Structure 1
Amino acid sequence: MLLALLVGQLQHRRTNFVINPTTTIMLYPDQVKVDGDWLSGVGQVKDGKILVSATVTKKQKQQINQGHLLVLTALEGEVEPIAPATNYGQFNSQQYYASKNIWQQVKLKTCQMRIRAGGIADHVHHWRFALQSYFSQMPKILGFFSSELFLGESLTRDSQVILDNYRNLGVIHILSISGLHVGIYTLVISIICSYLKLTEEEAFGCCLVVLILGILLSNGQAGFIRASLTYFLGKVFKFKGVRLAHFDLLGLACLLHLALNPRLLLGLGALLSYVLALGLELTSQMTSFKRSLALNFLLTPLLLLYFFQFNVLTIFFNLLVVPYFNWVVMPVTVINLVVFATIPNVALFFEDVLVISEGLIGKLSATRLGLLTFGKINWWQCLLLLALTAIWLLLVNDQGLTKRLRQRLMKVILFMYVIFFALIHFPLTGQVTFIDVGQGDSILVTTPFPRRVYLIDVGGRLNFGKRKITPQVNQITVPLLKAQGISKIDGIFVSHQDADHVGDLGPLLEQVKVGKLYMAAGLINNPSFRKRIAGKVRNNQLVQLLAGKQVIEPQVHFNVVYPLKPGRGENEDSLSLMFKLANKTWLFTGDLGQAGEQEIMTKYGLAVNYFKLGHHGSRTASNPDFLQNLQPDLVFISAGRNNRFGHPHPETLATLQSYHIPWVSTQDCGMITWTYGPLMRPQFNYFLPVIKK
């Protein structure tokens, strides 16, 4: 540990990349993804690495496809730090890339590209690129498994469906390049060397060459390096006649790995690999079934910390999927790898087999059988559960201790799980949370126990290009809900038809159970909206609303103040809601313009505590007289960073300033949460450390 800390301090230097006339970026083609005319990947710079994105020309695509080292010069663009997560439960890109010693990203407007002959590294990356190209020509599922098992990466965005299926069943680990691969490689090579009458030392040398090649081709996959280091150290100590316990061997491998990469354990892959390897040592005396059960129990705290859910039937799914993977997927993938270039038609038969098999796995995953949305535990809770579980496994192996002591410790562990689960699922507080969905709206409203959950709009990314984009709700809203242990939404209020408010409704309905879908009268007749929800909700779940109606829920009453008559679901017809929680009144008006605000003011003459500024702070909304009439204590702006519309507009901010109305924005604060409860004073929390304006 001291060695790891020392090396960590010595290598704490970060890349400080700036663009000047002499700046160059080197790109290996296997570390680049090209989608349409958009390039993204990891570039090599003078003192480290940097994320690169740029638009590329047809000629530059041809240069990339040659598969050799690329040198970018004459750079024009913006350099900025990698952004952190801005919502609770969201994947933290900043932390992920920090584990790889990458701290900055550059978005290039223009650049010149040329090919340069490289050394050994260029040849290795060229081989990886050639394999990527080879796998991309295969049928989709065969290409996916080939890429995962030999390169440790997914070929396309479509692969996420298969990954999600395996993750939901709790068998995602079988796709990792790790000890299984090292064991297979060394076994096969040892058998060949034995047949060739080579000595054990010579066979070890051959294995070492293959493992180094495997590390390079897998792009330094943590699990593969861990298993390779353990194999290497074990053999070296054996040849030297030094006996070393398996625990010490694993610990030494970890220290050496940390010396190579001090930020190693910031990455989930490495963490899971070493914890699993430790678990294998702790459970070495158990039967196969008990061992599998114990290993899943050991990994559960990490799954809850990073994925917020686990499958209680994982042990049984392992019994089904692992044999299929070992005896069908791996042989088929290896055979296809060898014969695809000469007998491509064989791949079609193999693909048909995998389509049927993966289809069955997909259907099993879709049932969500055994899948428990537990919620996100804290780091110290994870560490405590890991430590206690490891101690319990040690006690199981120690036959000198009483069975009663082991049972007591197990009861303590299970009691802690129950307590952590109860704290997440039976909260004593409620919330109004402005989810940072960029240029869009999505507000989460929950009540204290018994918790009820509502959404006002769901966000959605505005796509002005030709690139296929992943639904934003998959990256932000669904993880946020899972992190809070939410698996059902009681009601979703849709303000109007714009994509930045309702664009992700379809994907959300596919993943989360929803009780009711509320909308302004007339929106249901909009063809675009009907297409979004087709086949995803029943007619009895749809509720149309007009001003004067109420949605009465156990702990909150939603009062509809607009529209006054049915419309077409446009900005001017935005569903506007008012409700009261903890004696504080809230008002949400979607993208309603000033004319609609005037009608609300004339009809109701409202005064509220908190108001979401209309239309993302646009000059077309939030009339000065309307704001003066509302007299809000605080207003909120939900808008994307550097959005193309320039929201919030300076005129609107000037109006707020003239009336001395404070405001906060998701642009600055990330997710904004107001928490209330019977035993606490309401308070605001901002996900990013910024100063309230």
Structure 2
Amino acid sequence: MQRFVVITIVIYLIFLLLKKYSNFKYAISILIALFCFILWRSSQNQCLNLTDRTIFKAYPDEIKIKDDWFSGVGVADGQKVLISGKISKEDQRLIKKGYPLMFFNINGDLSKIDPATNIGEFDFQKYYAAKRIFQRVKFKSFRMKMANLDWQGYCHMFRFRLQEYFMKMPRLLGFFTSELILAENNSMNNQDILNNYRDLGVIHLLSISGLHVGIYTLAVSTLCYLLKFTEKETFIFCVVVLVIGIFLSNYQPGFVRASLAYVLGKVFSFKKLKIAGIDLLGLTCLVYIMFLPRLFMGIGAILSYVLALGLQLTSKMSKLKQSVTLNLLLTPLLLVYFFQVNVLTVFFNMLIVPYFNWLVIPITFFNLIVFSRFSNLSYLFEDILEKCETVIGNISQTKIGMITFGKINWWQCLLLLALTFVFVAYLNEKVQSKKIKSKFIGTISLIYTIFFAIIHFPLIGQVTFIDVGQGDSILITTPFPRKVFMIDTGGKLNFSGRKQQPQVERITLPFLKAQGINKIDGLFVSHQDADHVGDVRALLKEIQINNIYMAQGLIKNPSFRKRVEGVIDHTKLVELLAGMQTKNNPLNFQVVYPFRAGEGKNEDSLSIFFELANKKWLFTGDLGQDGEKELIHQFPNLRVDYFKLGHHGSKTASNPEFLKIIHPELVFISAGRNNRFGHPHQETLETLKAQSIPWASTQDCGMISWYYGYFQKPKFVRFLQEGSQ
């Protein structure tokens, strides 16, 4: 269906192009044929074969080093590949010399880049596909040496020296300089700034785009005018500066688009050919796609072109009216990719754009020039920016104006975009009927309301095993009126000692936001292990949790107390033992383990039983075989339909006699891909096979969801559409 819609739109646009520019129909036909040929060639993906003779070439500005681990982009046999591995201090010193690098005598694992495995999760496979990168190599061992410098090597060395220069600057100055010149940043140190700008709806200010092209061309043109250069000589100098800017920004889509538009516009001007602004934008897009056919697999490029088109359509409007209209155009895309929108974005733009244009940009570029000679002045600039960013951060933390709308699908987005574009085109007409205008606004508002209601007042509920790798996290929701519960939060086991981003930020929170969930009625904590509750603090900071249910004694565990201290002001802590119930109409959770207070260890795992749509579920955390035996001794008549295997399918859990008594029709395993423990263990799988119990694992299936509702039969959906059953 998606392909049919895209092909229809393309054919219609080609028809309009040929009709409007009939004098150039042959040139346009050749351009279209070339365009189609390049698209076809791009679909013929070539994959690298890794051998002992494979040599990777890489540039230091495309390599990141953290502690003793490096990652970056390398090229072998003409193919771009992600490379990573452990690196010695000697090799790190070699990289810092700035020369091109050669990796050889490689022993490593070559694989495809993993796709997203959860709803709402960022898809790195698509992200890198847009850059024509499809594989990754994890080096086990390798040798490295410097390569000879060629013109590309000198360019990359210059970019690398800029990176080092910016890293020496104070944090905020270094961040803004890297963003505005190199289109990159160290997100681990500056994630708070990115989050603040995103939540306020002004993240576009950090993107290199038309504003920067305008600044560069204005500066060059002014200089050339003072030096008495001709218009064409000035144009050549501008092109050189823009090419350098494109390289330094690592081909950032917005900057490339604006640069191409400037160059093509000037060429048409020199040839005294008239072309409409919208047609120039379309031609720019066609030229860009010829070189990068997968351009629109990235949200950055989509937002850039939609915003540019919106600016063309709203050029005659007042600033306030234009700002409101542009936000209307971008909203459907924001809901597809980010699931939330700030209704006060127009106000925040009016507040922050002047600060950014008249303070941040001038300070950043002035500091770029003076930092090496007057570093003390930089700390004065840094102090000014810190005070301003603190105010912005405080506003962002209030979450004022933020609406967690939920994820709309592609056809809903297309419908809203089409209606909004038609409405904008109508606003540009000289004669406007207030009645028709009101109908447009009413129709668009009604559609948004319907989509919001479908997401927030669902007729279906779910039990979803979130793929959090080597850990547990299960979401349970009911149909309208929706109640939301979770069992554990997941959390990454940290064997390296390096600071890591909580998995909940890139997996669980986007998943919840995609469903319009901004509140959890109850969180069940099975025990204190990091792979079950390691991300509880990060979750509590970002979303309201009314109740945390735990086994008696866990709250006294120092490790668990440290995780929740300071973030449970509005959360009720409830301790449970076997025989107790938590009634949350229509869900009734029955506690079946433990029978005595413990310390939050595996053997004390909180185990709960509940029934939905006539199906019985049992979750036992990391309960071992001794605990399972005690459980069935106390509840000899316990029968379940669905059961999550204890301890990620370890041989120490899920006793054969226990499985025989509860007799599930399907069991689930939540374990990480290629985990160091070898979960699930073969002994456990043999036990399941011997009892003819089918199983499904997040390793193979990604997120596993069971949906039920008022008007549909219960069904399972595996995100990756594979796995055992």
Q: What TM-score, normalized by structure 1, do the two folds share?
A: 0.99
Residues 630-663 of structure 1, C-alpha deviations (whole Å, 9 max, x = no match): 0111100000111111111111111111111111
Aligned with 1:106: secondary structure? strand
Moved more, 121-130 or 398-407: 398-407
Moved more, 589-598 or 188-197: 188-197
RMSD, aligned CA: 1.1
Alignment of 1:5-44 (within 5 A): 5-44=36-75
- Structure 1, unaligned runs of 5 or more: none
**Correspondence 1:391 to 2:422:** yes
Displacement after TM superposition at 1:401 (Å): 4.8
**Correspondence 1:427 to 2:458:** yes
2:652 paired residue number:
620
Residues 333-359 of structure 1, C-alpha deviations (whole Å, 9 max, x = no match): 111111111111111111111111111
Displacement after TM superposition at 1:431 (Å): 0.3
Alignment of 1:626-641 (within 5 A): 626-641=658-673
**Correspondence 1:649 to 2:681:** yes
- Distance in 2 separating the partners of 1:481 and 1:487: 7
Alignment of 1:235-274 (within 5 A): 235-274=266-305
Alignment partner of 1:678 out of 706, 710, 716? 710
The amino acid that maps onto 1:618 is: S
**Correspondence 1:379 to 2:413:** no
The amino acid that maps onto 1:562 is: Y
Aligned with 1:201: secondary structure? helix
2:337 paired residue number:
306
| Contact kept? 1:15, 1:49, Cα under 8 Å | no
| Contact kept? 1:430, 1:447, Cα under 8 Å | yes
2:194 paired residue number:
163
Residues 267-300 of structure 1, C-alpha deviations (whole Å, 9 max, x = no match): 1111111100000000011000000010011000
Aligned with 2:38: secondary structure? helix
Displacement after TM superposition at 1:235 (Å): 0.6
Displacement after TM superposition at 1:402 (Å): 2.9
- Distance in 1 separating the partners of 2:194 and 2:36: 35
- Distance in 2 separating the partners of 1:531 and 1:354: 33
Aligned with 2:43: secondary structure? coil
* Residue 691 to residue 534, structure 1, CA distance change in 2 (3 Å): closer
Displacement after TM superposition at 1:539 (Å): 7.9
Alignment of 1:201-212 (within 5 A): 201-212=232-243
Moved more, 156-165 or 594-603: 156-165
The amino acid that maps onto 1:395 is: Y
- Distance in 2 separating the partners of 1:540 and 1:454: 14
Residues 200-222 of structure 1, C-alpha deviations (whole Å, 9 max, x = no match): 11111111110011001111111
- Distance in 2 separating the partners of 1:504 and 1:262: 39
**Correspondence 1:522 to 2:553:** yes
Alignment partner of 1:343 out of 374, 378, 399? 374
Alignment of 1:89-238 (within 5 A): 89-238=120-269
The amino acid that maps onto 2:121 is: Q
- Distance in 1 separating the partners of 2:341 and 2:408: 13
Displacement after TM superposition at 1:406 (Å): 2.9
The amino acid that maps onto 1:433 is: T
| Contact kept? 2:114, 2:124, Cα under 8 Å | yes
**Correspondence 1:410 to 2:448:** no
Aligned with 2:388: secondary structure? helix
Residues 385-408 of structure 1, C-alpha deviations (whole Å, 9 max, x = no match): 111111111111012353322332
1:400 paired residue number:
431
Q: Count residues in correspondence.
A: 693
Aligned with 1:681: secondary structure? coil
- Distance in 1 separating the partners of 2:569 and 2:192: 25
**Correspondence 1:667 to 2:696:** no
Q: What TM-score, normalized by structure 2, do the two folds share?
A: 0.94
- Distance in 2 separating the partners of 1:156 and 1:137: 16
Moved more, 403-412 or 130-139: 403-412
Moved more, 19-28 or 291-300: 19-28
Displacement after TM superposition at 1:379 (Å): 1.0
Aligned with 2:654: secondary structure? coil
Alignment partner of 1:364 out of 395, 411, 432? 395
The amino acid that maps onto 1:379 is: W
1:566 paired residue number:
597
The amino acid that maps onto 1:662 is: P
* Residue 442 to residue 238, structure 1, CA distance change in 2 (3 Å): same
Residues 43-87 of structure 1, C-alpha deviations (whole Å, 9 max, x = no match): 112132001111101110011101111000000000000011000
| Contact kept? 2:546, 2:571, Cα under 8 Å | no
- Distance in 1 separating the partners of 2:585 and 2:549: 17
2:102 paired residue number:
71
- Distance in 2 separating the partners of 1:508 and 1:274: 35
| Contact kept? 2:70, 2:86, Cα under 8 Å | yes
Aligned with 2:472: secondary structure? coil
- Distance in 2 separating the partners of 1:172 and 1:374: 18
Displacement after TM superposition at 1:11 (Å): 2.0
| Contact kept? 1:222, 1:269, Cα under 8 Å | yes
| Contact kept? 1:574, 1:591, Cα under 8 Å | yes
The sequence identity of aligned pairs, in percent, is 56
| Contact kept? 2:696, 2:723, Cα under 8 Å | no
Displacement after TM superposition at 1:596 (Å): 0.7
| Contact kept? 2:473, 2:532, Cα under 8 Å | yes
- Distance in 2 separating the partners of 1:331 and 1:285: 28
1:80 paired residue number:
111
Alignment partner of 1:545 out of 564, 576, 581? 576
The amino acid that maps onto 2:436 is: L
Aligned with 1:680: secondary structure? coil
The amino acid that maps onto 2:517 is: I
Residues 497-529 of structure 1, C-alpha deviations (whole Å, 9 max, x = no match): 000000000001001111001110000001111
| Contact kept? 1:15, 1:103, Cα under 8 Å | no
The amino acid that maps onto 2:292 is: N
